[in-house]
Amino acid sequence: MEFKIEIADICALIKVDDADFAQCLIADHYSNFLSDKEPSLWVRMDVRPVEEASLLDGTLKIIETSVIGEVLYFRGFDGDVEGKINLISGEAEGVTVRVSYRFDAFLRILYSLWLVKSGGFLLHSAGSKDEKEAYVFFGVSGSGKTTVTKLSDDKVILSDELVAVRAVNGRYQAHGTPFMGEFARGGQNCSGDLKRIFLLKKDKKNFLLPIRGAQRLKELFHCVQFFGENTHLLGDLLAICNDISEKVDFYELHFLPDKSFWNCIRNHGGI
């Protein structure tokens, strides 16, 4: 079975040799991201049965990569998902166990690379938008991304796990992704202008502190999800991060775990 999905205006044609599994992937994760556009990525995935109970581990901390020429090879979770991606042609192939978040891990690897080729990146962050702009709240695990998402129910949710950030005509936009964290629901396939970006800091009161200079780049790069450290794309990613750190305002958002932090953002201008 084949289907096309689109994340941050990048379309991938995906061929899966297990039609039932493909239907489950669409129903559970990717229905909001189906596309009829011409693809720039071509994926072929073979599916094999689950054999070990340990496959319930859903982390992404054990992905290994290597590069030969323009091809990136990846292997994760003791071989639960593995394959290769041609960094020039956009052709990819691999094998995954019949577990949705293993296939999801493959997509994260793929889009972490191709977004950089397209002037963007995947950021560990929560995101939401209204009619004026998009709001991106980034930070390490436990910083409050899912909390902020749950407290943003009056806005369109982009993600509580990974937001795609991409430059369009020299201006940055935040895009929704199907990648989910504890919120257990993927974002919407939409985007908004990114004028401000917030580093999450749990605190006993709400306030904003500007992040200036090289600290912006340091904090941002630490939260980018990227699997091409051994490729020429690393330099491109650093250039993109440096560019956004000069064009978008950065703040530390110290916040209480209730909706009052939105008043802090509103009073600072924008909403």
pLDDT tens digits along 205-228: 999 999 999 999 999 999 999 999
Cα separation values, 244 from 9, 16, 119, 165, 187, Å: 19, 36, 10, 10, 23
Lowest average pLDDT, out of 23-32, 48-57, 86-95, goes to 48-57
Q: Is the pTM value of this prediction over 0.85?
A: yes
> What pLDDT, in 10s, does the model give residues 109-128?
999 999 999 999 999 999 99
Contact residues for 41 (Cβ-Cβ < 8 A; gap 6+): 10, 11, 12, 13, 90, 91, 92, 110, 114
Candidate from 39-53, 63-77, 230-244 with smallest mean pLDDT:
39-53
Q: Pick the closest to residue 191 from 3, 5, 2, 7 (CA basis).
A: 7
pLDDT, the chain, mean: 92
Percent of the chain with pLDDT over 90: 83
Give the burial class of 214: count Cβ atoms within 10 A of its Cβ; 0-12 exposed, 13-18 middle, 19 or more buried. Answer: exposed
> Confidence band (pLDDT; 50, 70, 90) for 266?
confident
Contact, 219 vs 250, CB < 8 A?
yes
